[in-house]
Amino acid sequence: MLCLFVVLSALCAMAVPIPLPDFYSYSSAAGDGSGTEYSTAHVGRITGIRVYEYPYYYGNYINGIQLSYDGNWTELVGVSYYGNDEEMLLFKNEYIVQVSGKYYNGYVNELMFVSNLGRSMKVGQPSGFSFNFYPTHDGSELRFISGRQNGWAITSIGAHWAVYYPKSNTTSS
């Protein structure tokens, strides 16, 4: 009987799911956060970044952002008119590991994206309060950004990080 109890206990212990570590983290939004909420969350890996900068008399600010997921661009967050755009396309197995910048007087003035390969893209003017976002777990990468925009410019930005697990391309025969 004791043998049966040990075997049943072992089977029950193996049936209990073991939780995986949480590899998601969030870098709290920087900026005053006025306006409408936005999120660029999509399925797939980020393969490109496009940022629009508006050259304003009193200082430049970021007025639009788009991310590309597996080659497909998201809807524009903010606006793109009267500005300059900068674009960074990522190489295969390249991903974003840091987002930095500055904000002041209600607007995000500067953004910089850094990849795991050390490449970077910097847009805007270095004026205001600094922020620096990065994942808290090894192997995590930028999955999407969120924040607020007021129809004229980006007023806040936050970063969401997680480990990317690509879908398996196996087929059954």
Whether the pTM exceeds 0.85: the reply is no
Q: Determine the straight-line distance between the first and last CA of the chain, rounded to whole angstroms.
A: 44
Phi-psi region of 3 (alpha: psi -120 to 50; beta: other; left: phi over 0): alpha
- Is a pLDDT exceeding 60 seen at residue 14? no
Q: Counting every residue, how long is the chain?
A: 173
Give dist(CA 149, CA 156) in Å, integer.
Answer: 7
pLDDT digits (tens, 9 = 90+) for 70-87: 999 999 999 987 778 999
